A and B are shown apart, each in its own frame.
Chain A
């Protein structure tokens, strides 16, 4: 225990004195989160949206007024569904809303009344925002209408949403939780990929191997130190996302803590394994970026939908730890504790992490040669 404590102390001094680890742990997350968050805000204004009203205008004036009043959508009126569809295909508009012929009638009759929303999901983020705004507008309009026409338990506007080009739109929700997963990969994998290689390059490993410290103790000290650093970064990112950028957090903090820990357990293990195999900082950094960080960004399902990937790549995505963390963190923020996902993914990460540790332990030599 004393040896592990001494080694952890050493790791902390090294982290504190190395400006690059502070950069990666605090400044980089700040920049990334800010970029992701403001990118969302930039998309806020004036998404060109077509509005097609097929029925009697008089009765639904309030809805139309709500659409016209929004500053988020740039409403263009069309006389027919066909014209609007043509412009959507051409890319002149990003989304279209169709209020059908019988809408007013069924609404007045207290029946469920559908409105159709079609979005161009080839740019999924914009599509996502457009549909979210439309939903908001409709909800406001519905409230007004119900106040005017009275409540009826069946009354209500239902939105029939169609996302063109990419039907999986809904699963790709807020981007900030994903970026937290990416930042965690960055610290867990990229930073740790350097640390064992550094000891080899500087010759400190040779000195370390002739002390009482066992390889188990050396590894545990590295896992723990970088785990703490990454968790500080996670706390910082979460604070930024929730407090500064007002992303909702609906899950339990305890679950968040446990699942983040498991994810880091795997990531740090992979980083240290890369470091052990290469024994060279430059090679380790490039390897970690190519095989650790980039796949985590591209293939984890955070930015691009896994179900739309070819089967062979879909199978490959399972190797990436972020693939099994993104669904959990996304749900924790947006939906709350979804236990089946939390259990299955956490179990996966735990087993994965243990396997990586076993491999790392096996690869770590107590001699200079392999």
Chain B
């Protein structure tokens, strides 16, 4: 049997408040793959992971992980899996090394085993310069790397990661993903949950959950292909993209999704529909387009507020920063920063953790 996880007709109900978190889920997950568990917030991702590792009991249905019952053979299962919870599960008041020692001991690693695993893990995560730093003082990305490293002690066969990329900058996110693919080479199966759809294309397989149901399970490209030939870009040099989109919506165009993309509008048409009002140029379908489409598309309506809100901004600044500098002791957090934010602007502050 090459399936690591078998789930059939799994249902999970919570009481107070009564919620049907998982609604009749059946899945067979293959060994040695990186599987993305995706879906909007509240779709049941965390609940499913927690049931798979025995932290929650199913209300009904069957589940086996590595041919073990998470419900009855919990401790036995825990020796064969690694888990990284959504909240940082390590002790922030312990140093990196103390956390490593604790988790290595809790996984029953021998002293020699510890030495080689620590060396490997520090090299792998790049945490070697920070071993004596308190875990609470690490950046978001480093915390997740430490969490991942600790989850790997005891050489698990399946690794469960619950939203490992939340609060992690794109650079660290890529590093995390690369680590996971290095692990895959060792034959580990990885279950990675996320609500960031742009991560999904990296996975071997994705499970798309919505309202406790599996909407899709398979290779991400297979999902993307459902919107093939339905994604277009359109634009009008004389009008703002927002105005173009608003007119399309008002004319009841058969849109599944429409988003502003720079000077253009990116449109996903509903199946077997055409529009002729505007000139369309075909675009490459994205995974995100397919997910929105399969979840029923966006509710395309013109915002009542947007129609009324005054859009003529005279260019007055509401926030002005002039040579802003902030130091914490010797550390300069912000160094001579100047900018103006004008009324009506959406102003983005971008940068990796600690920028």
Number of A-B contacts (CB under 8 A): 81
- In the complex, chain A residues whose CB is within 8 Å of the CB of B102: 6-7, 9-10
- Between B53, B91, B94, B108, the greatest number of chain A beta carbons within 10 A of the residue's beta carbon is seen for B91
Q: How far is the CB of A367 from chain B (nearest CB, A)?
A: 5
Chain A proximity mask over B101-121: 1 for CB below 8 Å, otherwise 0:
111011110000000000000
Q: How far is the CB of A248 from chain B (nearest CB, A)?
A: 41
Q: How far is the CB of B279 from chain A (nearest CB, A)?
A: 52
Q: How far is the CB of A229 from chain B (nearest CB, A)?
A: 15
B93 touches A14 (CB 8 A): yes
Given contacts A204-B91, A206-B55, A206-B89, could you give 11 more A-B pairs where the C-beta distance is less than 8 Å? A6-B101, A9-B98, A9-B101, A10-B102, A14-B93, A206-B87, A207-B89, A211-B78, A211-B103, A212-B106, A367-B57
Chain B proximity mask over A1-19: 1 for CB below 8 Å, otherwise 0:
0110111011001100110
The A199-237 residues at the B interface (CB cut-off 8 A) are 202-204, 206-214
Which of A2, A210, A369 is in CB contact (< 8 Å) with B56? A369
Which of B79, B83, B84, B90 is in CB contact (< 8 Å) with A204? B90
Q: How far is the CB of B84 from chain A (nearest CB, A)?
A: 8
Chain A residues in contact with chain B, CB under 8 A?
A: 2-3, 5-7, 9-10, 13-14, 17-18, 202-204, 206-214, 366-369
B55 touches A367 (CB 8 A): yes
A22 to B75, CA, bound (A): 35
B53 touches A210 (CB 8 A): yes
- In the complex, chain A residues whose CB is within 8 Å of the CB of B79: 212
A202 to B50, CA, bound (A): 17
B86 touches A203 (CB 8 A): yes
- In the complex, chain B residues whose CB is within 8 Å of the CB of A210: 53, 55, 78, 81, 83
Q: How large is the interface on B (under 10, 10 to 19, 20 to 34, 35 or more residues)?
A: 20 to 34
B87 touches A203 (CB 8 A): yes
- In the complex, chain B residues whose CB is within 8 Å of the CB of A5: 105
B93 touches A208 (CB 8 A): no
Chain A CB within 8 A of B88 CB? yes
Chain A proximity mask over B36-59: 1 for CB below 8 Å, otherwise 0:
000000000000001001111100
Q: How far is the CB of A67 from chain B (nearest CB, A)?
A: 61
A368 touches B101 (CB 8 A): no
A368 to B52, CA, bound (A): 13
B107 touches A368 (CB 8 A): no
- In the complex, chain B residues whose CB is within 8 Å of the CB of A2: 105, 108
A3 touches B105 (CB 8 A): yes
A207 touches B85 (CB 8 A): yes
Q: How far is the CB of A220 from chain B (nearest CB, A)?
A: 14
- In the complex, chain B residues whose CB is within 8 Å of the CB of A9: 98, 101-102
Nearest 10 interchain pairs by C-beta: A207-B89, A203-B87, A6-B105, A211-B106, A210-B83, A206-B85, A17-B93, A368-B55, A10-B102, A210-B78
A18 touches B55 (CB 8 A): no
Between A and B, 18 residue pairs with Cβ closer than 8 Å are A2-B108, A3-B105, A3-B106, A6-B102, A7-B106, A9-B101, A9-B102, A13-B94, A202-B88, A203-B85, A204-B89, A207-B84, A211-B106, A212-B78, A212-B79, A212-B106, A368-B50, A368-B55
- In the complex, chain A residues whose CB is within 8 Å of the CB of B98: 9-10, 13
- In the complex, chain A residues whose CB is within 8 Å of the CB of B92: 202
A203 touches B57 (CB 8 A): no
Chain A CB within 8 A of B274 CB? no
A4's nearest neighbour on chain B, judged by CB, is B105
Q: How far is the CB of B15 from chain A (nearest CB, A)?
A: 10
Do A214 and B75 contact each other (CB < 8 Å), given the known contacts A5-B105, A10-B102, A14-B93? Answer: yes
A213 to B98, CA, bound (A): 17
- In the complex, chain B residues whose CB is within 8 Å of the CB of A369: 56-57
Q: How far is the CB of B352 from chain A (nearest CB, A)?
A: 24
B86 touches A213 (CB 8 A): no
